[in-house]
Amino acid sequence: GAVVSQHPSRVICKSGTSVKIECRSLDFQATTMFWYRQFPKQSLMLMATSNEGSKATYEQGVEKDKFLINHASLTLSTLTVTSAHPEDSSFYICSARDQGTGGPNQPQHFGDGTRLSIL
Amino acid sequence: GESVGLHLPTLSVQEGDNSIINCAYSNSASDYFIWYKQESGKGPQFIIDIRSNMDKRQGQRVTVLLNKTVKHLSLQIAATQPGDSAVYFCASRVRGSGNTPLVFGKGTRLSVIA
């Protein structure tokens, strides 16, 4: 089945550091990928929709200059948390849909997330 | 806007019993629904999906029921096992292009008592 790989799985860094998270679709092409954020014991909140070859679409309240998204190829999207601060500590999860098979109603497949801890 | 919620935040069941997890959605334009299972420290794992033109869909030990009249769906797990312990999320998508993202409910933690 469709596999989404996310790297790194965990990052611990000092305040002010910029952190890049990679999301890859391993066995399918994804023109669209999604980035979610999840706080402990809470649900997934959509941050942005990443579109291959164009600008990402950010949800209301998500700072686009803070969370830089690049979708340079059909299998890779990156999320960069710039000048991270402790309040940015969270679980970041990417997702993609294999739109090449079966039309638009296909499940989104998720990576295993990146646990970001800012000291 | 779209919102998806759950009736029960926690559920404890005896091993071998059936589990039922409920979910309500608010947007009548939603036409695709998915149940995900999330284990600690991992991303959501697809369990089963259902389109709005269906009322019921069965998988291996799982059944999803959709009631569009009251905008409610449920996930039934037969013969619940310890490995089923996790947080379960329902998610929905509003009718549109394939780029429309999923909206997630709040999640229900299922604890299986051995």
* Helices of type H across chain A: none
First to last CA, chain B: 41
Does residue A99 contact residue A30 with C-beta atoms inside 8 Å?
Answer: yes
pLDDT digits (tens, 9 = 90+) for B51-109: 999 999 999 999 999 999 999 999 999 999 999 999 999 999 987 766 788 889 889 99
Residue B81 has φ and ψ, to the nearest 5°, of: -115, 160
pLDDT at A98: 76
Contacts of B106 in chain A (CB under 8 A): 42-43
Separation between Cα atoms, residue A47 and residue A104, nearest integer Å:
21
pLDDT band at A72 (very low <50, low <70, confident <90, very high): confident
Contacts of B51 in chain A (CB under 8 A): 105
pLDDT at B109: 95
For residue A35, give the nearest of A84, A119, A102, A108 by alpha carbon. A108
- Give the gap in angstroms from C-alpha B11 to the nearest C-alpha of chain A: 14
- Give the gap in angstroms from C-alpha A44 to the nearest C-alpha of chain B: 6
Q: Is A5 on the interface with B (CB under 8 A)?
A: no
- Give the gap in angstroms from C-alpha A83 to the nearest C-alpha of chain B: 24
For residue B74, give the nearest of B21, B10, B25, B2 by alpha carbon. B21
pLDDT at B7: 46
Residue B51: CB atoms within 10 A of its CB come to 11
pLDDT at A81: 97
Cβ–Cβ of B107/A112 closer than 8 Å? Answer: no
pLDDT at A99: 67
pLDDT digits (tens, 9 = 90+) for B11-63: 999 999 999 999 999 888 999 999 999 999 999 999 999 999 999 999 999 99
Stretch A107-114: mean pLDDT: 92
- List residues bridging with A73 in a β-sheet: A76
What rounded mean pLDDT belongs to chain A? Answer: 91
